[in-house]
C-alpha cells in the first residue's frame, strides 16, 4: 500500500490513540500516577478527610505562583521535571486553566532571566510544560505532518554514510543526501499546508508577546526553537514516543531521521554545515529554504482572517476527571515522600509571609508533617512504594 493511503487509512485510529486512549481513566493511567496507592488505599481512608485534602491540594496546584516553586522543589529532590509537569498539565487542562499557567510561567522566566542566554533553557519549567502540552494537543498535527515521510524513510532504510572516496560509495552517499533533501522538502511542504494547532498558536503567541517587550530581536529564533527543536524535530527523532511508530527505529533508520532533523533545524536557523560535515551537500537546500521557513515560523503567531462561517482547526483537550484525580494523588505522594527537600527549597525560594502561609497549608494536608495530623495515616499507606510511581510514570509515558 502506498504510504499516503496508509496514512489516510490509519488517521482515525491515530486520533483515538492520541486523544482517547492516553487520557481515559484506565488502570494504566492510575498506575502511571499512583502505583503507591494501588487498589484504592487512599479512598479506603476516611472519605471526608481524603476528599478534602485532595481538593485543597488541587486548588494549591491551580495557583501558578504556588505550583511553580513546587515543581522546582520536586525537581531538586531528584524527580524528573517532565514527570512533575505532566501531572500539573493534566490537572490544569481538566480545569480549563492552562492559559493561567502559561501566562504566569512565561512572565516568571522572562523576569528571572539575567540576560538573553538565560531564556527558556532546555531544563526550564516552561519548556517542560510546553513539551507535555504538545503531547496532549499536537499528536494529530504531527501525524498529518510526519507519518507519510517517516514511513518512506523507514522503507528506504538509508545506508550509513561512508567517509570512503570509492566511486560506488560516493554514489551511495550522494543518493543518501538526495533522499534526505527530498524528505526535508516533503516535511516543509506539509508544514506549509497543514493547519497548525490553534491552542499551540496561543501558547506561542503568549511567549512572543512577552519576548517582544524586552528581547524583540530574539522573537523569531525563540519561536523556531519551540516549534521545531521542541516539537516537530523532537517528534521526528522520537517517533514511538509521539505515537508515529509502534516500535523504536533500528540503528540505520534512527541515524537517518536524526540527520533529517538536523537539516530541518539548520534550515530554520539559516545555519549551513561545515565543509567537514557529512551533510555539507545539503547547504544548497538550506540557502533556498531558510528564508521561507523563517517566514513560516513568524506567521504561526499571525491570526489569519477567515471567511464567515469557516471553522477553525481546533483540537479539544480531553483529560478526564479520573486522570486529574490520579495526578493530584501522585503529586501528594511525591511531595510527601520528598518533604524535607520541599521544606528547604520552598523556604529558600519564597518570601517570608508567602512561605508561612504555604507551609501551614501543606502541613494541614499532611505533606510536610512528621506525625500527629489527621492526614498522617495517608502517608503510612503510601510508604516507600511512592518511589515506584516515578518508574511507572516514565514507563507508561514511553509506552503511550
364-385 per-position pLDDT tens digit: 888 887 543 333 444 444 333 3
Q: Which of 152, 156, 190 is nearest to 3 (CA)?
A: 152
Sign of dihedral through CA atoms 340, 342, 345, 347?
negative
Cα dist. 354→298, 360, 364 in Å? 39, 10, 16
Asked if 233 contacts 191 with a C-beta cutoff of 8 angstroms, the reply is no
Asked if 349 contacts 73 with a C-beta cutoff of 8 angstroms, the reply is yes
Distance CA 55, CA 329 (A): 10
Q: How many CB atoms lie within 10 A of CB 247?
A: 7
pLDDT at position 60 is 94
Asked if 93 contacts 317 with a C-beta cutoff of 8 angstroms, the reply is yes
> Is the pLDDT assigned to residue 67 strictly greater than 60?
yes
pLDDT above 90 covers a percentage of the chain that reads: 32
pLDDT at position 303 is 57
3-state secondary structure of 195: coil
Q: Which of 327, 350, 293, 255 is nearest to 84 (CA)?
A: 327
Half-sphere exposure (CA, 13 Å, Cβ side) for 399? 12
Q: How many CB atoms lie within 10 A of CB 210?
A: 16
Q: How confident is the model at residue 119 (pLDDT cuts 50, 70, 90)?
A: confident
> Is the pLDDT assigned to residue 146 strictly greater than 90?
yes
pLDDT at position 99 is 92
> Is the pLDDT assigned to residue 391 strictly greater than 60?
no
- Which of 104-113, 170-179, 242-251 has the weakest average pLDDT? 170-179
Q: How confident is the model at residue 246 (pLDDT cuts 50, 70, 90)?
A: confident
Interhelix angle 64-76/81-94, rounded to 10 degrees, is 160
Return the ∠ at Cα 171 (arms to 169 and 176), rounded to 5°. 95
Cell numbers 497549608: residue? 361
> Is the pLDDT assigned to residue 6 strictly greater than 60?
no
Q: What is the CA radius of gyration of the chain?
A: 23
Query: What are the φ and ψ backbone dihedral angles of 227, each rounded to 5 degrees?
Result: -70, -45
Q: Residue 66: which residues within 8 A CB-CB, separation 6 or more?
A: 60, 358
Mean pLDDT of 146-153: 89
Q: How confident is the model at residue 175 (pLDDT cuts 50, 70, 90)?
A: low
Cα dist. 64→68, 98, 99 in Å? 6, 10, 10
Sign of dihedral through CA atoms 93, 94, 99, 105?
negative
Mean pLDDT of 228-248: 92
Distance CA 304, CA 369 (A): 53
Length of the chain: 400
pLDDT above 70 covers a percentage of the chain that reads: 71
Return the ∠ at Cα 318 (arms to 361 and 91), rounded to 5°. 10
Mean pLDDT of 297-311: 63
Amino acid at each position: 500500500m502506498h504510504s499516503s493511503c496508509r496514512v489516510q487509512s490509519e488517521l482515525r485510529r491515530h486520533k483515538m490513540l492520541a486523544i482517547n486512549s492516553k487520557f481515559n481513566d484506565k488502570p494504566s493511567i492510575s498506575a502511571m500516577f499512583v502505583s503507591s496507592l494501588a487498589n484504592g488505599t487512599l479512598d479506603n481512608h476516611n472519605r471526608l478527610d481524603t476528599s478534602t485534602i485532595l481538593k485543597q491540594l488541587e486548588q494549591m496546584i491551580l495557583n501558578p505562583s504556588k505550583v511553580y516553586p513546587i515543581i522546582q522543589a520536586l525537581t531538586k529532590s531528584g524527580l524528573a521535571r517532565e514527570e512533575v509537569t505532566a501531572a500539573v498539565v493534566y490537572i490544569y487542562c481538566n480545569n480549563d486553566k492552562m492559559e493561567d499557567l502559561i501566562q504566569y510561567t512565561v512572565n516568571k522566566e522572562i523576569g528571572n532571566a539575567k540576560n538573553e542566554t538565560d531564556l527558556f533553557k532546555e531544563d526550564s519549567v516552561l519548556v517542560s510544560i510546553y513539551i507535555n502540552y504538545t503531547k496532549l494537543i499536537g499528536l494529530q498535527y504531527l501525524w498529518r505532518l510526519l507519518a507519510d515521510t517517516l514511513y518512506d524513510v523507514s522503507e528506504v532504510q538509508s545506508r550509513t554514510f561512508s567517509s570512503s572516496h570509492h566511486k560506488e560509495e560516493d554514489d551511495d552517499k550522494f543518493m543518501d543526501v538526495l533522499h534526505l533533501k527530498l524528505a526535508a522538502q516533503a516535511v516543509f511542504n506539509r508544514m506549509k499546508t497543514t493547519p497548525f494547532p490553534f491552542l499551540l498558536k496561543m501558547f506561542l503567541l503568549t511567549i512572543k508577546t512577552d519576548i517582544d517587550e524586552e528581547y524583540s530581536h530574539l522573537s523569531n529564533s525563540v519561536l523556531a526553537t519551540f516549534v521545531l527543536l521542541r516539537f516537530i524535530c523532537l517528534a521526528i527523532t522520537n517517533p514511538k514516543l509521539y505515537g508515529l511508530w509502534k516500535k523504536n527505529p533500528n540503528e540505520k533508520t534512527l541515524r537517518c531521521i536524526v540527520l533529517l532533523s538536523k537539516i530541518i533545524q539548520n534550515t530554520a536557523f539559516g545555519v549551513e554545515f561545515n565543509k567537514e560535515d557529512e551533510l555539507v551537500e545539503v547547504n544548497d537546500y538550506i540557502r533556498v529554504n531558510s528564508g521561507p521557513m523563517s517566514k513560516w515560523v513568524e506567521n504561526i503567531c499571525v491570526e489569519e482572517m477567515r471567511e464567515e462561517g469557516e471553522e477553525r482547526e481546533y483540537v479539544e483537550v480531553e483529560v478526564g476527571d479520573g486522570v486529574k484525580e490520579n495526578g493530584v494523588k501522585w503529586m501528594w505522594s511525591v511531595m510527601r515522600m520528598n518533604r524535607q527537600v520541599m521544606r528547604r527549597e520552598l523556604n529558600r525560594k519564597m518570601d517570608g509571609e508567602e512561605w508561612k502561609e504555604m507551609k501551614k497549608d501543606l502541613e494541614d494536608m499532611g505533606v510536610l508533617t512528621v506525625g500527629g495530623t489527621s492526614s498522617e495515616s495517608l502517608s503510612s499507606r503510601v510508604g516507600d512504594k511512592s518511589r515506584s510511581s516515578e518508574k511507572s510514570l516514565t514507563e507508561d509515558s514511553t509506552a503511550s
